[in-house]
Amino acid sequence: MELKIAILPGDGIGPEVIAQAVKAVEAVCRRFGHTLSSASAPVGACAIDEFGDPFPESTFSLCSRSDAVLFGAVGDPRYDNDPSAPVRPEQGLLQMRSRLGLYANIRPVRTWPSLLDRSPLRAEIARDVDFVCVRELTGGMYFGEKGRRDGSDTAYDTNVYSRSEVQRILDYAFRLARMRGHHLTVVDKANVLETSRLWRQVAMEMEKSYPDVHTDYMYVDNAAMRLVCDPRFFDVLVTENTFGDILTDEASCIPGSMGLLASASVGGRTAVYEPIHGSYPQAAGKNTANPMAAILSAAMMFEYTFGLSGEAEAIRSAVALCLENGVVTSDLAAGENACSTSDVGDCVAEYIMKGTI
């Protein structure tokens, strides 16, 4: 198969971790006989530097022409403490999501037996955690009307959802639950927010069409607690954009490092695969960042975009073997035992080629 992939490394550690994901994709192509045809484009702060635009038209056009996008991270400390910056790197990511119609963000959370002692949770709580967060990605406060009034000393962000936006993400989540453990948790704040009441109303109507899925409803504050007290409760968790952003950062700690969490953003013709961590500017260029999240995002790409689950599994097994063998970066290994970003990438590629499954 020919794989047309747009590579958007972005800022900070993005280029380093994406280079390892590309190595894994190349190894899969060699082992399974696929052809990779890839092209890179700038996004985020590096695109602002080059084009004055965090998501230039040429980058959008490359994405639209590709089957899938491998995305690193965006962000730059130059913008962090400057609320008046007219353009920001993060806008590149938000524009990409919106323009490519990526309304569903899929963030699987699992633990690895070999890393249970790295989890901030006790091993008996972290063991066998395996759930998927489905985060709505193109609505809510992120995209609602926002601004300043009263001489700019009052600010607002509007949380808006239409029935059709709610329906399409819930439909995705119900179907995913059907393919997994048949348990869907709808997370909202329906005791306070009108948007949440609409979500709950629509979910309760749709629930009837999925009698094989056990559906429950949970307030977001309670879900935040449940994620750390009893994460095995969850199978598929669906929620709106802002709640999903916060809960998935929380959930990302469970396996032991945020550097292990992959994601897929789907809904349009071209899906985007990205690690859930950010650009981590302090580590940029040091060859120390954990590339596993980017590599596992490439595994999701094989499965979701190309329907090649054997190829996805080859990557996941290679990652699991590295973790078992202690081939890990400093977020997971102590001092001298830590491997570099590129060493981990080389080892994953080697295991893929050798065929660990």
Residue type, 210: Y
Which of the listed partners (Mn ion, ligand IPM, none) does 268 bind, with a CB threshold of 5 to 8 Å by partner kind? Answer: none
Name the active-site residue from 23, 188, 189, 235: 189
Q: Is 331 a catalytic residue?
A: no
Which of the listed partners (ligand IPM, Mn ion, none) does 240 bind, with a CB threshold of 5 to 8 Å by partner kind? Answer: none
Q: Is residue 273 within a helix (H) or strand (E), and if so which, with residue range?
A: strand 271-275
Q: How far is the CB of 93 from ligand IPM (least distance, A)?
A: 5
Applying CB under 5 A, among 245, 313, 343, 346 the residue interacting with Mn ion is 245
CB of 276 or CB of 327, closer to Mn ion: 276
Q: How far is the CB of 258 from ligand IPM (least distance, A)?
A: 11
Distance from C-alpha of 68 to C-alpha of 43, rounded to nearest angstrom: 15
Cα 306 to Cα 67, 161, 246, 269, 300: the distances in Å are 8, 31, 30, 12, 9
User: Rounded to 5 degrees, what are φ and ψ at 82?
Assistant: -125, 80
CB of 235 or CB of 274, closer to ligand IPM: 274
Closest residue to Mn ion, based on beta-carbon distance: 245
CB of 125 or CB of 260, closer to ligand IPM: 260
Q: How far is the CB of 340 from Mn ion (least distance, A)?
A: 26
DSSP state for residue 139 in the 8-state scheme:
S
Q: Which two tokens stand for residue 211?
A: 């009698």
Which of the listed partners (Mn ion, ligand IPM, none) does 76 bind, with a CB threshold of 5 to 8 Å by partner kind? Answer: none
Number of residues that bind Mn ion (CB under 5 A): 1
Half-sphere exposure of 273 (CA within 13 A, CB side): 30
Distance from C-alpha of 126 to C-alpha of 112, rounded to nearest angstrom: 9
Name the one residue in this structure whose structure tokens are 């997370």.
Answer: 187
Q: How far is the CB of 195 from ligand IPM (least distance, A)?
A: 17
- Using CB under 5 A as the binding rule, whether residue 49 contacts Mn ion is answered as no
Number of DSSP helices (H) and strands (E) in the chain, helices first = 13, 12
Which of the listed partners (Mn ion, ligand IPM, none) does 343 bind, with a CB threshold of 5 to 8 Å by partner kind? Answer: none
Half-sphere exposure of 204 (CA within 13 A, CB side): 10
- Using CB under 5 A as the binding rule, whether residue 250 contacts Mn ion is answered as no
Q: Is 249 a catalytic residue?
A: yes
Which of the listed partners (Mn ion, ligand IPM, none) does 93 bind, with a CB threshold of 5 to 8 Å by partner kind? Answer: ligand IPM
Q: Are 105 and 244 in contact (CB under 8 A)?
A: yes
Q: How far is the CB of 248 from ligand IPM (least distance, A)?
A: 7
Q: Which two tokens stand for residue 15?
A: 């280029």
Cite the active site residues: 142, 189, 221, 245, 249
